[in-house]
Structure 1
C-alpha cells in the first residue's frame, strides 16, 4: 500500500515536472515569435485550433451543462484565458524578457485572484496569504524600479501588458472554479471562442496573418509548443498532477515556472539575470508559494455560485 502511494506520488511529480517545462516553453515560444516572420495572429492560430478540435470533440457530451452555465462565467473563461489573454501575453513578451513574463503572469496571479475573490465573493484572506501578497507587491515594485532606473520604458510597457494578462487569467481562474466545468470543457470554451474571434479581430485590423509565408520550421516549432504541448498536453499533465499530489502542492510547484523559464531563456536567448531581476523573481516565487491556497474558493461558495441561474 505504501509502495503504491509512493509510486503515485512519483508519477504526480513527473507530471508536474512536464507541466513546468511546457509552461516555461510557452513563454520561450512567445518570446521567440518576436524574432520570427510569424505574427501574433499566426501564433494564436497555431495555439487555439488544435485545442478547439480536441477539446471540442471531448466536450460534446457536456453540451447541456455548458448551455446551463451562467453566461458571465462562460465570458470569464473565454476572455480570461482565450484570445484577449493571449494577445496581452504575446505582445508583453515581445517587449519584456522571459523571466519578467514568467514571473508576472503566473506569479502575480494569486494577488489578482485574491482581490477578485475578496471583493466580489467576500472571501476572507488569512495572514499567511496576506504575507504572500505583500512579497508579490515587493517583487512587482522591484521589476518596475529596475525598468525606470535603467530608462527601459519599452520594458515597462511590456510589464503593463503582462500584468493585464495576469489579471485576465485571474478572471478565468475564478470563472472555471465557480462554473463547475472541467478543465477540458473550459479548454473547449476558450479555444473555440478564440477561433471565432480571430477573424473578427482580423477585420478590425487588430491582428494580421503571415503563416503561409513563414518558414515551415517556425510553423512546426510553434505548433508543437503552443498548439500541442501548451494547448493540449499541459491540460492533461496538470490535471493528473493535481489528482496525485493535490491542488495545493501542484499550485505551489507551479510557482517555479519563472525559475525554469529564466534558466531556459539564459541558454536560448542569452538573456542576463541582474541582481534586481533575480531578487524580484525570488520575492514573487516565495510570495506565490505563501499564497498558493488563495485560488481555492470555499466549497460552500463554489456550490452556491455554480448553480445555474436564469439569464
Structure 2
C-alpha cells in the first residue's frame, strides 16, 4: 500500500517539476522581452544623442550618475550592506558592463548607425557567451544551439553586407568597438550567473562603481556639453540613460539570466536588431533594405534555436522518471 503511494508520488513529481520549469522559463522570457524593448530604444536614443549636441562622455555621465543615485539605497542602507567580496565582484562587473561598455557602444553608434550597432553588439553577445561557456566552463550547448549560433552569425554577416550595399561601407573602428562590447557583455553574463548577487544588487554596484570612478574624471577634464543641449534633450537622455538603462534594464536583464541561464537569456537579446531597426525608421529615418530585413529573419531563426534549453536539462526528466518506476 505504502509502496503504491510512493510510486504514484514519484510519478507525479517529474510532471510537477516540468510545470514549474515551464513557469520559470516563461517568466524568464517575459523579463528578457522587457529588456529587449528597453535596449532597442537605447540604441536609437543614444544614436540620437551622440549625433546632436551631447557626446559619448555626457551619455555615460547621465547613465551612471543618475543610476548610482537612484540605486545607492539598495546596497548602502542599514541591514543591506554588502561584504567586501561582493563589492569586489561589483567592481569587476562595472569594468565589464559599466563605463567601458557604454563608451564602446556609444563610439560604435557614433561611427556606424543605430541598425548596424544594434546588429553587431547584441547579436555577437550570445555567440560569445555560448563559446566562452563551452570553452571555459564546460557548459554543454547541444546541436540546436550550435546551429542557432551559426544562423545568428550568418544573419549578421548578411546584414552587414546588405548595409554596405544600401548605406556604404561601415567604419571598421566602429565595428571593432561593438565587437569588443559584445565580448565584455558575454563575460559579465557568465560571471553574474555564478555570483551570489541579486539582480538589483548587481545593477546598483555597477552604477556606484562607475559613478565613483568616472564622474570625477569627467568633471575634472571639463568634458560636459550640457550647456549646448536643450533641456528637452537632456531630460530625455537622463530618463532613458539614468532610469531605464541603469535601473530597469539592468535589473530585468539580470533577472532573465537568473531564470533562463546565460545562454538562453543572451540568445533572446539577439532579437534587438529586429526591434531597433523598426524603431529607427520613425525616429532616425534609417530604413532597412529588403536584404537587411531577410538577414534579420535569419537572426531571429538563430535566436529560436540558441534559446532552447540545454541538453542536460532535457535528459534529466526521463532518467528521474525511469528511476522512479524501478
Name the TM-score class by shorter chain.
0.7 to 0.9
8 A contact 1:147–1:156 mirrored in 2: no
Are the counterparts in 2 of residues 36 and 218 from structure 1 also a CA contact under 8 Å? no
Name the residue aligned to 1:271: 286
CA distance in 1, matches of 2:312, 2:45: 32
Pick closer, same or farther for the CA change 1:25–1:40 going to 2, 3 Å: same
Q: For 1:195-210, list aligned pairs within 5 A.
A: 195-199=211-215, 202=218, 208-210=223-225
Q: 1:241 to 1:86 in 2, by over 3 A?
A: closer
* Matched-pair contact (CA < 8 Å) for 1:117–1:297: no
Matches of 2:113 and 2:168, distance apart in 1: 12
Moved more, 139-148 or 27-36: 139-148
> Is the Cα–Cα contact under 8 Å of residues 36 and 272 in structure 2 kept in the other structure?
yes
Q: TM-score if structure 2 supplies the norm length?
A: 0.75
Deviation at 1:251, TM superposition (A): 5.9
> Residues 239-273 of structure 1: CA distance to partner in whole angstroms, max 9, x if unpaired?
67789xx5378666544332221111011111121
Residue 75 of structure 1: CA displacement? 4.5
Structure 2 residues not aligned, in runs of 5+: 1-19, 314-326
Question: What secondary structure is seen at the aligned counterpart in 1 of 2:224?
Answer: coil
| Contact preservation (8 Å) 1:114, 1:295 | no
How many residues end up aligned between the 2 structures? 288
Q: State how far apart, in whole Å, the 1-side matches of 2:310 and 2:201 are.
A: 19
Task: Give the Cα separation in 2 of the matches to 1:111 and 1:250.
Answer: 12
What is the CA–CA distance in structure 2 between the aligned matches of 1:28 and 1:191, rounded to whole Å? 22
SS at match of 2:36: helix
Please name the residue that 2:143 is paired with.
Answer: 127
CA displacement at 1:200 relative to structure 2? 6.2
Where 1:38 maps in the other structure, the secondary structure is coil
- RMSD of equivalent CA atoms: 3.5
Unaligned segments of structure 1, at least 5 residues = 299-311
Q: Structure 1 residue 43: deviation in Å? A: 1.0
Provide closer, same or farther for how the CA distance between residues 31 and 151 of structure 1 changes in structure 2, counting only shifts above 3 A.
closer
**TM-score for both structures, normalised by structure 1:** 0.78
